[in-house]
């Protein structure tokens, strides 16, 4: 049951995260039209947009001798190095055409990753875990008590956003069928498996 105190939060539905993009998530484009169809059921809609300056510190190209998907130590903790993606003003940073009905209905569009020295997966905090985006306060002002997350990528920006929503006192749901994962390999399982273990521990459901 969807209530008027629920917010649909659409995470990074951008061309660079879809097939053909520089950081493509497998099958990422397949969730765009289904997400857009959900919008009519929600009183509150938020869309996030990765919005990096060129030369961002999270890009492998900014670190000599480093390759995408390696990890390095940053002042704020471990950082995965990514291919250059979602650079401000480039086509890859644009929203996927099929998601535009959701964008048109959005109460808020939250741009993140603009600080060249700090990455930002979560819709609520930059990766330094101290710098807020202001989303939590905006949702509280609107009377939102539960956040429903969809989009890309399930195991990174969607997961971090859902976990931060719980930490901020909101109920949280991730609609797994409306998200897609990068699923990087770990010593045990993948980053998608790790995210789901965190969801279970935090009381985050993966369906409604």
State residue 130's pLDDT score. Answer: 94
Angle between the N-to-C axes of helices 157-167 and 191-202, in degrees from 0 to 180, rounded to the nearest 10: 20
State residue 14's pLDDT score. Answer: 98
State residue 206's pLDDT score. Answer: 94
Single pTM value for the model: 0.97
Please list the active-site residues.
12, 112, 157
State residue 68's pLDDT score. Answer: 96
Q: What is the distance between the alpha carbons of residues 21 and 183, in angstroms, rounded to a whole number? A: 17
| Degrees, nearest 5: CA angle 21-22-27 | 45
State residue 123's pLDDT score. Answer: 98
Closest C-alpha among 4, 3, 9 to residue 136: 9
Other residues' Cβ atoms within 10 Å of the Cβ of residue 39: 18
Q: Counting every residue, how long is the chain?
A: 208
pLDDT in single tens digits along all 208 residues of the chain? 999 999 999 999 999 999 999 999 999 999 999 999 999 999 999 999 999 999 999 999 999 999 999 999 999 999 999 999 999 999 999 999 999 999 999 999 999 999 999 999 999 999 999 999 999 999 999 999 999 999 999 999 999 999 999 999 999 999 999 999 999 999 999 999 999 999 999 999 999 9
State residue 110's pLDDT score. Answer: 98
């Amino acid at each position: 049951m969807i209530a008027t105190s629920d917010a649909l939060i659409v995470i990074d539905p951008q061309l660079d995260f879809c097939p053909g993009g520089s950081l493509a998530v497998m099958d990422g484009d397949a969730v765009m039209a289904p997400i857009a169809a959900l919008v009519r059921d929600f009183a509150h809609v938020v869309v996030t947009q990765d919005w990096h300056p060129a030369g961002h510190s999270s890009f492998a190209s900014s670190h000599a001798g480093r390759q995408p998907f390696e990890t390095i130590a940053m002042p704020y903790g471990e950082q995965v190095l990514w291919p250059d993606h979602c650079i401000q003003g480039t086509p890859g940073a644009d929203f996927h055409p099929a998601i535009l009905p959701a964008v048109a209905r959005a109460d808020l569009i939250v741009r993140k990753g603009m600080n060249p020295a700090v990455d930002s997966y979560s819709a609520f905090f930059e990766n330094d875990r101290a710098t807020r985006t202001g989303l939590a306060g905006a949702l509280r002002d609107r009377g939102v008590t539960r956040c429903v997350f969809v989009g890309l990528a399930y195991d990174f920006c969607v997961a971090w956003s859902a976990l931060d929503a719980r930490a901020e006192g909101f109920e949280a749901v991730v609609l797994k069928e409306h998200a897609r994962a990068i699923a990087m390999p770990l010593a045990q399982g993948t980053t998608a498996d790790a995210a789901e273990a965190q969801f279970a521990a935090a009381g985050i459901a993966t369906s409604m």
